[in-house]
Protein backbone atom coordinates (compact mmCIF):
# COMPACT_ATOMS: atom_id res chain seq x y z
CA UNK A 1 0.00 0.00 0.00
CA UNK A 2 2.02 2.87 -1.37
CA UNK A 3 -0.01 5.76 0.17
CA UNK A 4 0.33 4.11 3.60
CA UNK A 5 4.11 4.10 3.23
CA UNK A 6 3.97 7.81 2.38
CA UNK A 7 1.78 8.81 5.30
CA UNK A 8 3.75 6.75 7.79
CA UNK A 9 7.05 8.12 6.45
CA UNK A 10 8.43 4.63 5.93
CA UNK A 11 10.14 4.86 2.53
CA UNK A 12 12.08 7.76 1.00
CA UNK A 13 11.53 6.25 -2.44
CA UNK A 14 7.77 6.60 -1.92
CA UNK A 15 8.15 10.29 -1.10
CA UNK A 16 10.08 10.77 -4.34
CA UNK A 17 7.36 8.86 -6.23
CA UNK A 18 4.62 11.19 -4.94
CA UNK A 19 6.75 14.26 -5.68
CA UNK A 20 6.97 13.07 -9.29
CA UNK A 21 3.17 12.84 -9.38
CA UNK A 22 2.85 16.30 -7.85
CA UNK A 23 5.24 17.77 -10.43
CA UNK A 24 3.19 16.22 -13.23
CA UNK A 25 5.84 13.85 -14.53
CA UNK A 26 2.96 11.44 -15.02
CA UNK A 27 -0.71 11.15 -14.18
CA UNK A 28 -1.45 8.62 -11.48
CA UNK A 29 -4.73 6.80 -10.95
CA UNK A 30 -6.05 5.15 -7.85
CA UNK A 31 -9.39 3.79 -6.81
CA UNK A 32 -11.53 5.09 -3.99
CA UNK A 33 -11.05 1.58 -2.57
CA UNK A 34 -7.47 2.57 -1.81
CA UNK A 35 -8.75 5.01 0.78
CA UNK A 36 -10.96 2.44 2.46
CA UNK A 37 -7.93 0.19 2.85
CA UNK A 38 -5.70 3.09 3.83
CA UNK A 39 -8.07 4.39 6.51
CA UNK A 40 -8.34 0.96 8.11
CA UNK A 41 -4.58 0.37 8.06
CA UNK A 42 -3.94 3.81 9.55
CA UNK A 43 -6.49 3.16 12.27
CA UNK A 44 -4.77 -0.08 13.24
CA UNK A 45 -1.34 1.56 13.10
CA UNK A 46 -2.39 4.45 15.32
CA UNK A 47 -3.92 2.04 17.82
CA UNK A 48 -0.71 -0.01 17.81
CA UNK A 49 1.38 3.14 18.28
CA UNK A 50 -0.69 4.22 21.26
CA UNK A 51 -1.70 1.01 23.06
CA UNK A 52 0.07 -2.23 23.88
CA UNK A 53 -1.36 -5.50 22.64
CA UNK A 54 -3.34 -6.42 19.56
CA UNK A 55 -4.80 -3.43 17.71
CA UNK A 56 -7.65 -5.63 16.48
CA UNK A 57 -8.54 -6.68 20.01
CA UNK A 58 -8.57 -3.04 21.11
CA UNK A 59 -10.74 -2.11 18.14
CA UNK A 60 -13.20 -4.92 18.79
CA UNK A 61 -13.60 -4.06 22.45
CA UNK A 62 -13.49 -0.23 22.27
CA UNK A 63 -14.48 0.65 18.72
CA UNK A 64 -16.49 3.81 19.41
CA UNK A 65 -13.89 5.22 21.78
CA UNK A 66 -11.04 4.57 19.33
CA UNK A 67 -12.98 5.99 16.39
CA UNK A 68 -13.53 9.18 18.37
CA UNK A 69 -9.83 9.29 19.22
CA UNK A 70 -8.43 8.69 15.73
CA UNK A 71 -11.06 9.39 13.05
CA UNK A 72 -10.38 13.11 12.64
CA UNK A 73 -6.63 12.54 12.25
CA UNK A 74 -7.24 9.80 9.67
CA UNK A 75 -9.82 11.86 7.76
CA UNK A 76 -7.44 14.82 7.53
CA UNK A 77 -4.67 12.61 6.17
CA UNK A 78 -6.97 11.08 3.57
CA UNK A 79 -8.30 14.43 2.43
CA UNK A 80 -4.77 15.59 1.61
CA UNK A 81 -4.83 13.25 -1.38
CA UNK A 82 -7.70 15.22 -2.92
CA UNK A 83 -5.32 18.18 -3.17
CA UNK A 84 -2.60 16.24 -4.98
CA UNK A 85 -2.43 17.40 -8.60
CA UNK A 86 -2.16 14.74 -11.28
CA UNK A 87 -3.76 12.09 -9.06
CA UNK A 88 -7.09 10.86 -10.40
CA UNK A 89 -9.30 9.02 -7.92
CA UNK A 90 -11.59 6.58 -9.68
CA UNK A 91 -14.98 5.49 -8.43
CA UNK A 92 -16.05 1.88 -8.21
CA UNK A 93 -18.99 1.31 -10.54
CA UNK A 94 -21.67 -1.37 -10.65
CA UNK A 95 -20.34 -2.24 -14.10
CA UNK A 96 -17.07 -3.32 -12.43
CA UNK A 97 -18.83 -6.39 -11.04
CA UNK A 98 -18.15 -8.41 -14.19
CA UNK A 99 -14.46 -7.46 -14.18
CA UNK A 100 -14.29 -8.31 -10.46
CA UNK A 101 -15.54 -11.82 -11.19
CA UNK A 102 -13.15 -12.23 -14.11
CA UNK A 103 -10.20 -11.00 -12.04
CA UNK A 104 -10.95 -13.51 -9.31
CA UNK A 105 -11.45 -16.42 -11.71
CA UNK A 106 -8.79 -15.73 -14.36
CA UNK A 107 -6.07 -14.23 -12.18
CA UNK A 108 -6.83 -15.56 -8.68
CA UNK A 109 -7.07 -12.03 -7.28
CA UNK A 110 -8.76 -11.23 -4.00
CA UNK A 111 -12.07 -9.40 -4.51
CA UNK A 112 -10.71 -5.97 -3.61
CA UNK A 113 -7.67 -6.42 -5.86
CA UNK A 114 -9.99 -7.53 -8.66
CA UNK A 115 -11.91 -4.27 -8.22
CA UNK A 116 -8.66 -2.32 -8.47
CA UNK A 117 -7.97 -4.22 -11.68
CA UNK A 118 -11.46 -3.35 -12.97
CA UNK A 119 -10.77 0.36 -12.43
CA UNK A 120 -7.41 0.03 -14.20
CA UNK A 121 -9.02 -1.69 -17.17
CA UNK A 122 -11.75 0.95 -17.37
CA UNK A 123 -9.19 3.74 -17.88
CA UNK A 124 -6.64 1.71 -19.84
CA UNK A 125 -3.91 1.98 -17.22
CA UNK A 126 -1.75 -1.14 -17.01
CA UNK A 127 1.29 0.19 -15.13
CA UNK A 128 0.89 -0.43 -11.41
CA UNK A 129 2.94 0.88 -8.49
CA UNK A 130 2.34 -1.77 -5.86
CA UNK A 131 4.23 -4.04 -3.50
CA UNK A 132 1.44 -6.60 -3.86
CA UNK A 133 2.81 -9.58 -5.80
CA UNK A 134 -0.72 -10.95 -6.36
CA UNK A 135 -0.93 -8.62 -9.36
CA UNK A 136 1.89 -10.57 -10.99
CA UNK A 137 -0.79 -13.14 -11.90
CA UNK A 138 -2.20 -10.61 -14.38
CA UNK A 139 -0.09 -10.91 -17.56
CA UNK A 140 -1.02 -7.52 -19.02
CA UNK A 141 0.02 -5.50 -15.94
CA UNK A 142 3.51 -4.10 -15.43
CA UNK A 143 4.01 -3.87 -11.68
CA UNK A 144 6.59 -1.49 -10.25
CA UNK A 145 7.60 -2.23 -6.70
CA UNK A 146 8.71 0.61 -4.44
Percent residues over pLDDT 70 in the chain: 100
Full-model pTM: 0.87
pLDDT at 69: 98
Q: What is the pLDDT of residues 5-31, one digit of tens each?
A: 889 888 889 999 999 999 999 999 999
pLDDT at 9: 85
Q: What are phi and psi of 106, to 5 degrees?
A: -75, -30
pLDDT at 110: 95
Element (H, E) at 89: strand 87-90
Listed as own residue / partner, the contacts of 28-31 with beta carbons closer than 8 Å and 24 or more positions apart are 28/86, 28/87, 28/88, 28/129, 29/87, 29/88, 29/89, 29/90, 29/119, 29/120, 29/123, 29/125, 30/3, 30/87, 30/88, 30/89, 30/90, 31/89, 31/90, 31/91, 31/92, 31/115, 31/116, 31/119
Per-residue model confidence as pLDDT tens for the chain (146 residues): 789 988 988 888 999 999 999 999 999 999 999 999 999 999 999 999 999 999 999 999 999 999 999 999 999 999 999 999 999 999 999 999 999 999 999 999 999 999 999 999 999 999 999 999 999 999 999 999 88
Please say whether the beta carbons of 120 and 128 come within 8 A.
Answer: yes
Task: Please give the Cα distance from 74 to 77 (Å, whole number).
Answer: 5
pLDDT at 114: 96
Task: Please give the Cα distance from 50 to 30 (Å, whole number).
Answer: 30
Average of per-residue pLDDT values in the chain: 94
Amino acid sequence: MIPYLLLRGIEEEVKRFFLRIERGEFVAYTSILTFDELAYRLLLAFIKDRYEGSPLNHLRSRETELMVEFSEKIANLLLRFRELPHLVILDVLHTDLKALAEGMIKHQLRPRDALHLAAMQRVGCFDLASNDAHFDNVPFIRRYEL
